[in-house]
């Protein structure tokens, strides 16, 4: 099967930075697969997610979508990409525009892709809000009226409203307290199952990874030091860095 998303020897160097933040990174995400990217803070996890979401371009190597290099000037490809690949960011406070009502926030992908008018988006927005467990009247309210967990549900509703094939999530539950975290992880697991959605998730919480992702890639200072089935990587790591990462987590996956 052609991978949905693929990095081939990718490197990123931010403007003005002395060196590459990530380098020689290669992995492929097959349709329906879920991949976790783990590593310490600063390892380059968010940068890899930005690469996969087209927000950052590789300074070397390639990002491929359905086997084709991502070409920001290819409007047809970009349209397919934007519809097919949606992102949930880490911080549900900064990722939602405080001046817009939830209805407009969640409808944004449908509107900007030209799929729907405001009127024809409304039932899809309502269905997405219901699916993530928010009350119907949430649509008319503003982000500040919601808790962190509810805001992340709004962000997830926005990400699934156009029925994407791929969900990219950057530490989607790190900003949440423990009980809320468990519920949002459950929601993501359900969505993955029922929509057979491909997922790439960044997390430093290995218990989240263990429950959600079939495969895990371990990132140390911008390089992937090992990747494989999550169970194998976590129970029998091949690389000493992975061992240290596992040992540094107080709560081991059951």
Site for ligand ADP contains 18 (CB under 6 A): no
Site map for Mg ion, 161-200, x if CB under 5 A?
Answer: ----------------------------------------
CA–CA separation, 178 and 165 (whole Å): 28
| Closest to 101 in 3D by CA, of 79, 55, 134, 53 | 134
Minimum separation from the CB atom of position 40 to ligand ADP (A): 7
Residue 98 CA to residue 247 CA, distance in Å, equals: 40
Binding-site partner at residue 229 among ligand ADP, Mg ion, none, CB < 5 to 8 Å by type: none
Q: Find the binding residues for Mg ion in span 72-101 (CB under 5 A).
A: none
The residues in 32-71 that bind ligand ADP, with binding defined as CB under 6 A, are 39, 41-47
**Of 38-46, 80-88, 100-108, 206-214, which part binds Mg ion (CB under 5 A)?**
38-46
Verify binding: residue 46, Mg ion, rule CB under 5 A: yes
Q: How far is the CB of 155 from Mg ion (least distance, A)?
A: 16
Which residues, at least 6 apart from 52, have a Cβ–Cβ distance to it below 8 Å?
Answer: 5, 7, 63, 85, 168, 200
CB of 116 to ligand ADP, least distance (A): 33
DSSP per-residue letters across 198-243: EEEEE-S-HHHHHHH-SEEEEEETTEEEEEEEHHHHHHS-SSHHHH
Residue number, nearest CB to Mg ion: 46
Rounded Cα distance between 63 and 181, Å, is: 31
Q: Which residues bind Mg ion (CB under 5 A)?
A: 45-46
Contacts with ligand ADP, residue ranges (CB under 6 A)? 14, 17, 21, 39, 41-47
């Amino acid at each position: 099967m052609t991978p949905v998303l693929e990095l081939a020897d990718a490197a990123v160097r931010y403007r003005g930075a002395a060196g590459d933040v990530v380098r020689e990174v290669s992995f492929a995400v097959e349709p329906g697969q879920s991949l976790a990217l783990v590593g310490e803070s600063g390892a380059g996890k968010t940068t890899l997610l930005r690469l996969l979401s087209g927000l950052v371009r590789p300074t070397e190597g390639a990002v491929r979508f359905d086997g084709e290099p991502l070409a920001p000037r290819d409007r047809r490809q970009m349209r397919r990409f934007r519809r097919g690949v949606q992102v949930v960011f880490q911080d549900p406070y900064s990722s939602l525009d405080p001046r817009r009502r939830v209805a407009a926030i969640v409808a944004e992908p449908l509107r900007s892709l030209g799929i729907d008018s405001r009127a024809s988006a409304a039932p899809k927005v309502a269905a997405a809000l219901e699916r993530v467990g928010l009350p119907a009247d949430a649509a008319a309210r503003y982000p500040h009226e919601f808790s962190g967990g509810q805001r992340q549900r709004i962000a997830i509703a926005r990400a699934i409203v156009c029925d994407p094939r791929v969900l990219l999530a950057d530490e989607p539950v790190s900003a949440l307290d423990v009980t809320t975290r468990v519920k949002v992880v459950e929601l993501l697991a359900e969505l993955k199952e029922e929509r057979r959605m491909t997922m790439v998730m960044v997390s430093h919480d290995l218990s989240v990874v263990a429950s959600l992702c079939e495969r895990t890639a371990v990132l140390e200072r911008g390089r992937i030091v090992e990747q494989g089935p999550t169970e194998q990587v976590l129970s029998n790591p091949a690389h000493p860095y992975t061992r240290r990462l596992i040992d540094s987590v107080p709560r081991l996956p059951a």
